[in-house]
Amino acid sequence: MTATAHFIEECRDVCHSADYSFLHFGSSDNISQLKIFFETVNPQVAPTEVHPCIPIVQQLWPIMDSLADRVGAIDDVARSLASCWRSIIVTYRTHYAPLLPVTMSRLIKSFEQSGLGQYLWVSGRVVREFGESNPIPTLQFVEGLSVSMWQVLQKYAGQFNEIPDGKTFEISLSFAGFI
């Protein structure tokens, strides 16, 4: 078994753990390691060729997606996931485009479930990286996030310091500037 396959299996085991504290802390550690891996391993590949790391990201995506569903509303897990996703998007840029639809969908869903600004932070990067080359999906993405943002703002009307992530309101205002 290769080191990558072993690590993917370890991540899968953590993701399927019934032990909540292990799931919480184990996932944050593994996601942080993934972020470092994806920032470090970046061979130069022509934009027309498949990047060798993208199949790894595709293998890991269901695991990260499941983690986001199970513990993505916990601030440190959300921060780790968002940071990892942002790093992958920034590192692999145009090579990441095939994963754009699932990423956009996941970010909307995670923000809807948690109201945490980390997901808007990554969303801003998605818009900056892919907005010009994919305008229709990007506008649909922003629309989906806007609906969720308005729900959060209505829920906490006039009580912005009560929003789950203190940065959500600030990020949402800056995110509106990307449109």
Name 28's Cβ contacts closer than 8 Å, sequence gap at least 6.
Answer: 76, 77, 80
Domain span holding position 67: 3-176
Number of domains in the chain: 1
Name 137's Cβ contacts closer than 8 Å, sequence gap at least 6.
Answer: 100, 101, 104, 130
Q: What is the pLDDT of residue 57?
A: 92
Percent composition of the chain: helix, strand, coil (DSSP 3-state, to 5): 80, 0, 20
Q: What is the pLDDT of residue 39?
A: 92
- Rounded-to-integer distance, Cα 169 and Cα 52, Å: 38
Per-residue pLDDT of the chain (179 residues; tens, 9 = 90+): 565 566 566 655 655 555 555 455 556 777 888 899 899 999 999 989 999 999 999 988 988 898 898 888 888 889 999 999 999 999 999 999 999 999 999 999 999 998 888 999 999 999 999 999 999 999 999 999 988 888 877 776 766 666 655 554 455 545 555 44
Q: What is the pLDDT of residue 89?
A: 96
